[in-house]
A and B are shown apart, each in its own frame.
Chain A
Amino acid sequence: MSLFNVFKVSSSAMTAQSMRLNAVASNLANADSIVGSDGQPYRAKQVVFEAAPVAGNSALARGVRVREVVESAAPARMVYDPRNPAADANGYVAFSNVDPVEEMTNMISASRAYQTNVEVMNTAKSLMLRTLQIGQGQ
């Protein structure tokens, strides 16, 4: 039954959007980090979505999956602070290149998309319940 595919499609989108939210959380948490675990300044991470066929081999349904996680190529934010132990020879400290405004808009977009998919799933559920009720009235 094809309405079951709606659940697969919407849940794949919800998984993808929650991964995006994860990336946003990681970026915002590290907005003021100086060095990451690899010794380099933290770089903002972004997820890239791609359309993917869902299980069940339906030509109509296209789910979403995260193809890759890319790191922002923006230059690190340089702050003049000669007293900081991480400062370079000129007294500048390389902070992460996270743009908090961009991350906040990303977060709102991801949460709205998540909500919409929940709604689509609920609609499909109520349609299926209506289908089950066919012929039950007197």
Chain B
Amino acid sequence: MADIQSHVGVYSKALNLRAQRHEMLASNIANADTPHYKARDFNFSQAMENALGGRNVGGSLAMNVTRQGHLAGAGGVSFANVQFRKEVQSSVDGNTVDMDVERAQIAENALHYQMLTQLISDKFSGLRRAMSSAQG
């Protein structure tokens, strides 16, 4: 019999990535008025594939350890390849945050997050039902 981890493992990975994406989009919105700030995002489906395959992309997120005694950093977020958003309208201060895009993305991301919490809940209630049905 498969363990419980395998039941919710996919969802929890997706949930983690959604939380990280929310963090990133919140940073974009927070820096909407910062000169020379470039809006960042990551491709969710690609990051999800990396997470499922256990591939640490590292790259832009992992901390380099170049000397003994360096801390590796909190880490755990190296499934995502951070990319800069393509700019639609350039502004004179070099900022590429498009508020409409960010608002739409953050709403979509939050909705997906809520869907995932619902799916995990359903999974658990399914397991609970399976356990109680044997007790007659």
Complex Cα gap A133–B27 (Å): 26
Q: Which 5 A/B pairs are nearest by Cβ-Cβ distance?
A: A13-B30, A62-B27, A49-B34, A135-B124, A6-B26
Nearest to A11 among chain B residues (CB) is B30
Residue numbers of B with Cβ under 8 A of A are 15-16, 19-20, 22-27, 29-35, 37, 60-61, 63, 73-74, 77, 80, 82, 99, 103, 106-107, 110, 113-114, 117, 120-121, 124-125, 128
For residue A127, which residues in chain B have a CB less than 8 angstroms away from its CB? 19, 22, 110, 113-114, 117
Chain B at the A interface: SS class = helix
A138 interfacial contact with B, CB 8 Å: yes
Contact-residue size bin, chain A (C-beta under 8 Å from the other chain): 35 or more
Q: A51-B34, A51-B37 are in contact. Are A117 and B29 (CB under 8 A)?
A: yes
Complex Cα gap A136–B121 (Å): 7
Interface residues of A in 33-60 (CB under 8 A from B): 48-51, 56-60
Q: Is the Cβ of B125 less than 8 Å from the Cβ of A138?
A: yes
Q: A50-B34, A60-B61, A64-B30 are in contact. Are A3 and B114 (CB under 8 A)?
A: no
Q: Is the Cβ of A10 less than 8 Å from the Cβ of B30?
A: yes
Interface residues of A in 108-129 (CB under 8 A from B): 109-110, 113, 116-117, 120, 123-124, 126-127
Nearest to A110 among chain B residues (CB) is B33
Q: Is the Cβ of B22 less than 8 Å from the Cβ of A6?
A: yes
Which of B20, B27, B113, B128 has a CB less than 8 Å from the CB of A9?
B27
For residue B117, which residues in chain A have a CB less than 8 angstroms away from its CB? 127, 130-131, 133-134
Complex Cα gap A116–B22 (Å): 14
Q: Is the Cβ of A124 less than 8 Å from the Cβ of B22?
A: yes
For residue A133, which residues in chain B have a CB less than 8 angstroms away from its CB? 117, 121
Q: Is the Cβ of B32 less than 8 Å from the Cβ of A116?
A: yes
Q: Is the Cβ of B27 less than 8 Å from the Cβ of A61?
A: yes
Nearest to B110 among chain A residues (CB) is A123
A12 interfacial contact with B, CB 8 Å: yes
For residue B22, which residues in chain A have a CB less than 8 angstroms away from its CB? 2-3, 6, 123-124, 127
